[in-house]
Amino acid sequence: MNDLGRSHNGWSNGILYIGSYGETNEPTIHVCRFDKSNGSLDILQKVEGVENASYLALHPNGTKLYAVKEIAEAGGEAGGVIAALDIDAETGLLGRVTSSASTIGEHPCYVSVDADGTAAFAANYTGGSIAVLPISPEGEVGPATALLQHACEPGPVTDRQEKPHAHCIAPMPGTAFVCAVDLGMDAVVTYLYNKEEGTLSLQHECMLPGGYGPRHIVFHPELPVAYVANELASSVTQLYVDREKGVLTKGTTYSSIPSDYDGYNDSADIHLSPDGKFLYSSNRGHQSIAVFQVAEESGELTAIQHIGCGGEQPRNFGITPEGDYLLAANQKSGTVVVFRRDPLSGKLEPTGNELKLPSPVCIRFSN
């Protein structure tokens, strides 16, 4: 299991992982098989022992799964935890937790891994900080080598922006930069990652208008642009990306809900289709997935569809690697709902398939 040169059959067998909120003695990670011929889902394994596994990441070669424990403290020490679990090279099933380390910040809600598999990056929501945890050649996670505390004045949405709330941290593809999205700061902060020392140094801050509450970021596979889902403003902002300097510049902002909707809503997750031609963002309140067409040269967006998510509170969703399906994880209704995706039009259509499991909040397809 520690031979990281091997890679299991993974997505060729339709293996995916779903993280959920739950207590230590409850199953919070489910290993599932997806049938690509009809869009059905089956549970292969239920894993206990990882409290509030609200976000997952895979080692680049697919032999380790990293899960956050979104908790305030562990073992009497303040901070959440990143846990590493073995992935069986043949079946994709999960083994035991082989290592874990503190994020040194309360309630980590996001974990990502650099392209070389040398570090895990954690965003601590309540702690308002980000952390770097080294990953050994065997895929084990070690004690944090860096912790950066964000700081800001209270924002205009007083009950949500009373202090920094780091909500996402993701590598900028093809660079040594890492971008942290902070809902409380109304900012996307770029850091330079020093692989040898396991540290981050501030590179740039891209400020968004007050009250936007940025949550998640996604980078276009070809164009020099990125997109941020603004939770508190129910919108998506296009960012221009200078990959050489690690600088993000604010572009146009687009509403993620229909103009005639005036009820409660907050935006959650955001993804691009594999070919980068369409962008998707989930809405909690409107209970929908917003679909945008991406302009081929400029990356500008045009809304083309709002479709019901088939449940309540679509906190996270995933697009299959081939781009044929979208799976929406509806936290409140306890369902993962499957949509067929038209690769030419980008639009979604319900398949009628859904999987019931408690509080699904993160979907990761095996490598």
Which tens digits make up the pLDDT trace of 276-327?
999 999 999 999 999 999 999 999 999 999 999 999 999 999 999 999 999 9
Judged on CB neighbours under 10 Å (0-12, 13-18, 19+), 9 is: middle
Judged on CB neighbours under 10 Å (0-12, 13-18, 19+), 23 is: exposed
Q: Measure the CA–CA gap between 144 and 50, rounded to whole angstroms.
A: 19
Q: What is the DSSP string of 38-62?
A: TTEEEEEEEE-S-TT---EEE-TTS
Residues of the chain above pLDDT 90, percent: 96
Which tens digits make up the pLDDT trace of 135-186?
999 999 999 999 999 999 999 999 999 999 999 999 999 999 999 999 999 9
Residue 6: what pLDDT?
Answer: 42
Residue 261 pLDDT class (50, 70, 90 cuts): very high
Residue 9 pLDDT class (50, 70, 90 cuts): low
Separation in Å, CA 75 to CA 80, 103, 106: 10, 13, 13
1-149 sits in which CATH class? Answer: mainly beta
Residue 7: what pLDDT?
Answer: 43
Q: Measure the CA–CA gap between 313 and 267, rounded to whole angstroms.
A: 10
Q: Measure the CA–CA gap between 223 and 242, rounded to whole angstroms.
A: 11
Does the pLDDT value for residue 4 go beyond 60? Answer: no
Residue 2: what pLDDT?
Answer: 37
Residue 12: what pLDDT?
Answer: 86
Q: What is the DSSP letter of 21?
A: -
- Across 61-82, average pLDDT: 95
Residue 367 pLDDT class (50, 70, 90 cuts): confident
User: Mean pLDDT over all residues of the chain?
Assistant: 96
Q: Which amino acid is at 260?
A: D
Overall fold of domain 256-367: Methylamine Dehydrogenase; Chain H (2.130.10)
Which tens digits make up the pLDDT trace of 189-244?
999 999 999 999 999 999 999 999 999 999 999 999 999 999 999 999 999 999 99
Residue 360: what pLDDT?
Answer: 98
Which residue ranges does the chain devote to CATH 2.130.10.10? 1-149, 256-367
Does the pLDDT value for residue 1 go beyond 70? Answer: no
Query: When comparing pLDDT for 318 and 11, which is higher?
Result: 318
* CB neighbour list of residue 37: distance below 8 Å, 6 or more residues apart: none
Which tens digits make up the pLDDT trace of 328-361?
999 999 999 999 999 999 999 999 999 999 999 9
